[in-house]
Amino acid sequence: MTWTPLTLVLIGVICLLGVGFYGLLISRNLIKIIVALQILGKAALIAFVMAGNVNGQTGQGQALAMTIIVADTIVAVVGLALAVQVRRRFGTMDIKALSNLKG
Amino acid sequence: MNNAFLWLIALPLLASPFVYILGRIPFSRAAFRTVRLDGHLVLENPRSRIPAFLALAVMLIMWVFFAMTASQFLANGAQSWTFGSVSLRLDGLSLLLAAVALGLGTLVVIFSGPYMADDAGEEKYYALLVLMVGVMIGLGCAYDLFNLWVWFEAMAVSSYLLVAFYHEQPAALESGVKYLVQSAAGSVLVLLGIALVFAQTGTLALDQIQSAARATVNAPALLAAGALFLIGYGVKAALVPLHTWLPDAHSQAPSGISAMLSGVVIEAGLVALLRSLGSLSAVTPSWSTLLFIFGALNMLLGNLLALRQTQVKRMLAFSSLSHIGYMLLGLGIAVYSGQPGGAEGSFFHLINHALMKGLAFLAAGALLYCLFIATGSHNALLISDLAGAARRYPLPALALSIAVLGLGGLPPLAGFMSKWQIFVAGFQTHDLVVMGLVIFAALNSVLSLGYYAPLVNMMYRQKPSTAVQSGKPLPWIMGIPLVLLSLAIVAIGIWPTLVQWLSAPAGAALVSMTAFGR
């Protein structure tokens, strides 16, 4: 395998995915979880730009990446709105408080 | 009018903001009320019934477009429409999803009239409900992988908000957060899969991917993409072990939304999964094995987990898992054998499950409303609370009994017919493993009566509980959807060919999607 700029981008995507999933599994703070979801979304976004580059349709890859930014932002907004409500009702951001429903 | 299906999609999307804005306008001073929030008196939203009536009007107009769409489809077959790089295509599967989403959506709007009347923020509820129905119809018509994801994400966002609708209740918030985090992680996996397919084939249109996949059998990138689709969409379709959001979300959402989630949303996830995997079907023949494995897991775990539930809505939520399992079995049979029989059975079961589970959640919701919500309490409805409910609430009790017995698969009801069709298709493959799975499914169906029958017994043969004795009367509007759905279930059970015009083209569409490389 030769080291091209593309390889570096691929490594970057994989690292972002690793960081995102690690954050998702380890964090207990709701805000940090939403940040981890955003990092995951950015990994997917870069993957699209890269995919467009690989098959020679750079423009379409970038257009899809723009759409992902919009969709990701909407999810983040809804998540943060829920986080605000969680802070109001539970008085904490710790997701340990959010484990009453079981079975 | 050509392309009526575009209006069927566009109307709810355009109408949704109007439902919200017109609901916010205070038409009279008395429309305001004050509520106490966090110790402060604040002026709450205007209390108008406009959003409810507007939503109902939108649904009724959509029925006109649906009738035009259906007649055009039955006369001319699949229709497509392209705008730039966005293409929508209405085939049998889209029509089925549209019929189910619109049918259940209309009944839920009627049901929610009295159910949501005392809750603040009705305009948000109806705006999101109308939006969700429109987005699901669009999802069925998406004919390009990325477009499919966008519709899917829009459906997810509208359902996050509806699940966490009672945002003053900790349990609803908790389920909303769980649902959002799991779904969002799943949708990132789907995106990565789409990026892999895009990098490998250079296209996103489903039919072009199909022919590209035939040229590159066993391409590792496409195999990985298929796995990512299965996991990513599997979160929304509630494949065990990705189901953990489902019981919380179904039990904490308002009852009308529980019916929509269980009856249509998880099936929409299944349709998205089928479309994506269908385009990659030529890559490897083992997709059907995966469908069988997930189907068996869903049937068994769904039933076993439902057995130990004490809350009615939670039990119904777990039984949705097992019904997704039956559908996966039928779809697996169709993909495995290349015959439409199993898929027709599955899509017939999809319709029936939407009717039966919709009725079960609405009937449970009606009882929940009478016993708790109308008295100002937000308790969960326990199975023991329903003791003797048939004496005071004969209609919801009868409707709930019809629904759960249909779900359990007792012969004169709809659930039996569709399960039977799946089982027959399984035996026609003459494959020992598939026949073993069919027997396993039949045993599971019997097992499910282990939690449905005690519920019926509790309502009809026990002394009334204190909750039933102190309950409020049932508003007559809530009875309309219950009666209609009960009649539909009995009618389809007696004349199973009644909805064949929907399930047969959907099965044919699935086989034409997947049997491409054979």
The answer to whether residue B289 scores a pLDDT higher than 60 is yes
- For residues B254 and B115, the answer to whether their CB atoms sit within 8 Å is yes
The answer to whether residue B118 scores a pLDDT higher than 80 is no
- Of all residues in chain A, the one with the smallest CA distance to B301 is A103
Q: Which long-range contacts (CB under 8 A, 24 or more apart) does B434-438 make?
A: B434/B292, B434/B333, B434/B336, B437/B292, B437/B295, B437/B296, B437/B329, B438/B329
Residues B202 and A56: their CA atoms lie apart, in Å, by 8
For an interface test with B, the pick among A14, A22, A58, A78 (most B C-beta atoms closer than 10 Å) comes out as A78
pLDDT at residue B518, rounded to an integer: 46
List phi, psi (to 5°) of B275: -60, -45
Counting residues of chain A whose pLDDT is more than 90, the rounded percentage is: 62
Q: What is the DSSP letter of A29?
A: B
Kindly state whether B184 is in contact with chain A, defined as any CB-CB distance less than 8 angstroms. yes
pLDDT at residue B46, rounded to an integer: 52
| B368 domain residue, yes or no | yes
B252/A101 Cβ within 8 A: yes
- Give the residue carrying structure tokens 């779900």: B407
Which residues neighbour B183 within 8 Å (Cβ) at sequence distance 6 or greater? B156, B160, B235, B236, B245
- For residues B386 and B444, the answer to whether their CB atoms sit within 8 Å is no
A68/B178 Cβ within 8 A: no
> Where do runs of H (alpha helix) occur along B142-219?
145-163, 170-201, 206-215
Residues B120 and B33: their CA atoms lie apart, in Å, by 10
Can you read off the two tokens belonging to residue B140? 């069925």
The answer to whether residue B517 scores a pLDDT higher than 80 is no
Residue A82: its chain B contacts at CB < 8 A?
Answer: 160, 164, 167, 173, 176-177, 180
Q: Specify the CATH number for the domain of residue A51.
A: 1.10.287.3510
Can you read off the two tokens belonging to residue B461? 């043969």
pLDDT at residue B41, rounded to an integer: 53
> B35 forms bridges with which residues in the sheet?
B42
- Please tell me the least confidently modeled range out of A5-14, B13-22, B461-470: B461-470
Residue B157: its chain A contacts at CB < 8 A?
Answer: 74-75, 78
**What is the number of domains present in chain A?**
1
pLDDT at residue B94, rounded to an integer: 92
Kindly state whether B185 is in contact with chain A, defined as any CB-CB distance less than 8 angstroms. yes
| A101 domain residue, yes or no | no
Mean per-residue pLDDT for B329-336? Answer: 89
The answer to whether residue B348 scores a pLDDT higher than 70 is yes
pLDDT at residue A69, rounded to an integer: 93
pLDDT at residue B257, rounded to an integer: 93
pLDDT in tens, B212-257: 888 877 788 889 999 999 999 999 998 988 888 999 999 999 999 9
Mean pLDDT of chain A: 89
Pick from A20, A71, A82: CB nearest B180: A82
Q: Answer with the residue of higher pLDDT: B184 or A98.
A: B184
The whole domain housing A56 covers 5-89
Tell me, what's the ipTM? 0.95
- Please tell me the least confidently modeled range out of A84-93, B211-220, B228-237, B348-357: B211-220
pLDDT at residue B516, rounded to an integer: 44
Residues B41 and B515: their CA atoms lie apart, in Å, by 63
Mean pLDDT of chain B: 87
Closest CA of chain A from B208, distance in Å: 15
A37/B184 Cβ within 8 A: yes
Residue A23: its chain B contacts at CB < 8 A?
Answer: none
Q: Answer with the residue of higher pLDDT: B33 or B185.
A: B185
**What is the number of domains present in chain B?**
1
Beta-strand (E) ranges in B48-129?
79-83, 86-90
Residue B156: its chain A contacts at CB < 8 A?
Answer: 75
| B15 domain residue, yes or no | no
A75/B180 Cβ within 8 A: yes
| B500 domain residue, yes or no | yes
- Please tell me the least confidently modeled range out of B206-220, B289-303, B488-502: B206-220
Is the pTM value of this prediction over 0.90?
yes
Any idea of the CA torsion for B362, B368, B371, B377, to the nearest 10 degrees? -140
pLDDT in tens, B367-412: 999 888 888 787 888 888 888 888 889 999 999 999 999 999 888 8
- Please tell me the least confidently modeled range out of B40-54, B75-89, B363-377, B453-467: B40-54
Which residue type occupies A73? T
- For residues B287 and B335, the answer to whether their CB atoms sit within 8 Å is yes
pLDDT in tens, B6-54: 889 999 999 999 999 888 877 655 555 555 555 555 555 556 788 889 9
The whole domain housing B368 covers 287-518
| A95 domain residue, yes or no | no
pLDDT in tens, B422-455: 999 999 988 898 999 999 999 999 999 999 999 9
pLDDT at residue B30, rounded to an integer: 53
Count the Cβ atoms, other than its own, within 10 Å of residue B376.
Answer: 7
What would you report as the CA-atom Rg of chain B, rounded to the nearest whole angstrom? 22
Give exposure, A10-27, as e/b (b: 16+ Cβ within 10 Å).
eeebeebbeebbebbeee
| B167 domain residue, yes or no | no
Closest CA of chain A from B354, distance in Å: 24
Q: Return the SS3 of B142.
A: strand
A47/B195 Cβ within 8 A: yes
Which residues neighbour A2 within 8 Å (Cβ) at sequence distance 6 or greater? none
What sign does the dihedral B487-B489-B494-B496 (CA atoms) show?
A: positive
